[in-house]
Amino acid sequence: MKKKTVILSLAGAAVVLGGFGLFGYEYSMLGQRFQALETEAFQLQEENASLNQQLDGKSSELKENISKVEEQEKYIAGQKDYVSELTQQIQEYAAKLPKEDADEESGEMEGTDDTDPYGETEQDPYPDLYAQEHGSGISENQKYVYLTFDDGPSELTPQVLDLLDEYGAKATFFVVCKNNEEYAEYLPEIVKRGHTLALHSYSHDYHTIYRSLDAFLEDYEKVFDWVKKETGYTPSLFRFPGGSNNGSSYVRKEIIQEMERRGFVYYDWNVSSGDGSNLTTTENIIDNICSNVGYIENPVVLMHDGTGKQATLNALPSVLKYLAEEGYEFRSLDKTLQPVQF
Ligand code: ZN
């Protein structure tokens, strides 16, 4: 019995010792693990701090770059202003040059800049196609309205002229040659009655005239020659068929530049009678003009005196009456006025 107890006690002690040993081992392992984690955490903390430092550095670098970009943008905007100012000066200078050139019999054009398609190197194929200066003074206290008639002359033109005369009104006629040749006798009549005879187009065919600069000039020269031959008068003003925003912007820019170099001024409009469409009634035309002129300073009114524009002719007496009562003076356009352009 005693022996058994001893054996049992020994076995018990061995189990307890073993247990302690195992626990001690586990404990030391955990200790090591804890130390490793602590080191790792410390390293991470250090890394974090250095990343934060880098981030701070980058953000101040970014701020610096942003302010540099802003400075550059300001500089570029300033340069743009300067360039557009220079461009304007060049255009003004270029517009003054053709006058001197036109007086030269040789027909040789002095180039105003390198982009001139008919500059120094090339013979100008349209040597006499240059505008003449004219103009009249305007008073600050007077309201002016500029009636303009496109696409004539036609069978309606003499009646338009008579109505204008009734009001002592001066207007501007942007004429077309093709299909209007039979009304050529009204061209000198327009000049004689003190209106401005201006050019619109020979063909009025968008596909032809806006194909290229040369196509435009070729067409324009024909109507220019026609008017000069019929009247002895040299026109200075013109209006693009469909307005100056018609055609491709590239060709249009080239045409405008070359036409201005030749001294021609183009006019768009800021009040439309809406009579371009044959569906527009006489009442529509009266309303479109009379209810809009008041909002515009120096209104330039688009109307048509081409064949078939009977509604416009019918509207004209009411339009003239209304505008005269409103205190407008009816003037014709000339080169001294600030042109209305789109
Ligand atoms: Zn037209």
Convert the pLDDT of each residue in 279-300 to its tens digit.
Answer: 999 999 999 999 999 999 999 9
Average pLDDT over every residue of 2-29: 64
Instruction: Check whether 105 has a pLDDT greater than 50.
Output: no
**Residue 197 Cα, ligand 1 centroid: separation in angstroms?**
14
User: Quick one: pLDDT at residue 101?
Assistant: 43
**Residue 266 Cα, ligand 1 centroid: separation in angstroms?**
13
Q: Which three-class secondary structure string do you get for the chain?
A: CHHHHHHHHHHHHHHHHHHHHHHHHHHHHHHHHHHHHHHHHHHHHHHHHHHHHHHHHHHHHHHHHHHHHHHHHHHHHHHHHHHHHHHHHHHHHHHHHHHHHHCCCCCCCCCCCCCCCCCCCCCCCCCCCCCCCCCCCCCCCCEEEEEEEECCCCCCHHHHHHHHHHCCCCCEEEEECCCCHHHCCHHHHHHHCCCEEEEEECCCCHHHHCCCHHHHHHHHHHHHHHHHHHHCCCCCEECCCCCCCCCCHHHHHHHHHHHHHCCCEECCCCEECCCCCCCCCHHHHHHHHHCCHHHCCCCEEEEECCCCCHHHHHHHHHHHHHHHHCCEEECCCCCCCCCCCC
Instruction: Check whether 68 has a pLDDT greater than 80.
Output: no
Instruction: Check whether 87 has a pLDDT greater than 80.
Output: no
Higher pLDDT, 5 or 254: 254
Instruction: Check whether 165 has a pLDDT greater than 60.
Output: yes
Please give the span between the terminal C-alpha atoms of the chain, in angstroms, as a whole number: 126
Q: What are the C-alpha distances in Å from 127 to residues 51, 73, 119, 175? A: 75, 45, 12, 22
**Residue 198 Cα, ligand 1 centroid: separation in angstroms?**
12
Q: Which of 20-29, 102-111, 231-240 has the lowest mean pLDDT?
A: 102-111
Report residue 51 as tokens.
């990343």
**Residue 71 Cα, ligand 1 centroid: separation in angstroms?**
49
pLDDT level of residue 71 (50, 70, 90 thresholds): confident
pLDDT level of residue 109 (50, 70, 90 thresholds): very low
**Residue 205 Cα, ligand 1 centroid: separation in angstroms?**
9
User: Quick one: pLDDT at residue 108?
Assistant: 40
Q: Which of 65-69, 112-116, 294-298 has the lowest mean pLDDT?
A: 112-116
Instruction: Check whether 70 has a pLDDT greater than 80.
Output: no
Question: pLDDT tens-digit profile of 319-339?
Answer: 999 999 999 999 999 988 889
**Residue 262 Cα, ligand 1 centroid: separation in angstroms?**
22
Question: pLDDT tens-digit profile of 22-50?
Answer: 666 676 777 777 677 777 777 777 777 77
**Residue 207 Cα, ligand 1 centroid: separation in angstroms?**
14
User: Quick one: pLDDT at residue 83?
Assistant: 61
Average pLDDT over every residue of 54-77: 73
Instruction: Check whether 205 has a pLDDT greater than 90.
Output: yes
Average pLDDT over every residue of 244-252: 88
Do 273 and 312 meet the contact criterion of CB atoms below 8 Å apart?
Answer: yes
Per the prediction, the chain carries an average pLDDT of 84
Average pLDDT over every residue of 266-278: 96
Instruction: Check whether 156 has a pLDDT greater than 90.
Output: yes
Higher pLDDT, 156 or 113: 156
**Residue 287 Cα, ligand 1 centroid: separation in angstroms?**
21
**Residue 15 Cα, ligand 1 centroid: separation in angstroms?**
116
Percent of the chain clearing pLDDT 90 (strictly above): 56
User: Quick one: pLDDT at residue 102?
Assistant: 40
**Residue 200 Cα, ligand 1 centroid: separation in angstroms?**
7
**Residue 16 Cα, ligand 1 centroid: separation in angstroms?**
116
Higher pLDDT, 152 or 27: 152
- The amino acid occupying position 276 is G
Average pLDDT over every residue of 173-191: 98
**Residue 242 Cα, ligand 1 centroid: separation in angstroms?**
6
User: Quick one: pLDDT at residue 66?
Assistant: 73
User: Quick one: pLDDT at residue 103?
Assistant: 41
User: Quick one: pLDDT at residue 221?
Assistant: 98
Sequence-distant (≥ 6) Cβ neighbours of residue 336 within 8 angstroms: 134, 135, 136, 137
Higher pLDDT, 90 or 248: 248
User: Quick one: pLDDT at residue 333?
Assistant: 96
